[in-house]
Amino acid sequence: MIFVTVGTQLAFDRMVRVIDEWAGRTEPRPEVVGQIGPSDLVPQHIDHRAFVEPGEFAELADRADAIVAHAGMGSIITALTYGKPIVIMPRRADLGEQRNDHQLSTAARFAGRPGVFVAKDEHELPGILDSLRGLTAGEPIPPFADPNLIQTIREFIDRGQ
- Provide the pLDDT confidence category of residue 49 given band limits of 50, 70 and 90: very high
Q: Nearest 5 degrees, angle CA 84-CA 102-CA 149? A: 60
Say if CB 104 and CB 90 are below 8 A apart. yes
Domain count, the chain: 1
Q: How far is CA 122 from CA 56, 145, 151, 160, in A?
A: 27, 34, 44, 49
Domain harbouring 98, CATH code = 3.40.50.2000
State pTM to two decimals: 0.90
Per-residue pLDDT tens over the stretch 68-93: 999 999 999 999 999 999 999 999 99
Q: Nearest 5 degrees, angle CA 50-CA 116-CA 11? A: 20
Q: Which domain holds residue 8?
A: 2-159
Secondary element (H or E) of residue 74 = helix 73-82
